[in-house]
Amino acid sequence: MIQCKRLYDAASTGDGYRVLVDRLWPRGVKKDALEYDEWCKTLTPSPALRKDFHSGAIDFAAFREAWLAELAELTEEGERLLRQAKERPLTLLYGAKDTQHNHAQVLAEWLRGLAIRQ
């Protein structure tokens, strides 16, 4: 099971392996206050892509396609995370306010597809 959760939401026992998937540490959160197992900066959008999306230079559809293209080069890292998901749930933590249109949702979609292909 792969799920996404805002890092500002309380941790729960059903979260399983909690992975922060933001390139930058979230504002206002002390490192010892966040319950997480891993900070995976590798599976985050490139700085240029992140900037284009957050500035409004590209819409979510264009961002999604570009992010999926970047992820295609990171299959080995995705497979590593999937091994965690086989043992327990995998929760991708993100800081974005929009819970539907963010990089973690695209990453979860990609990971699910990767799991099917295995």
Output the pLDDT for position 115: 86
In this prediction, residue 85 carries a pLDDT of: 81
Q: Which residues pair with 77 in a beta bridge?
A: none
Q: Which pLDDT value is given to residue 5?
A: 97
**Rg of the chain (C-alpha set):** 14
pLDDT score recorded for residue 84:
84
pLDDT under 50: residue ranges of the chain: none
- pLDDT recorded at residue 117: 76
pLDDT at 16: 95
**pLDDT recorded at residue 118:** 64
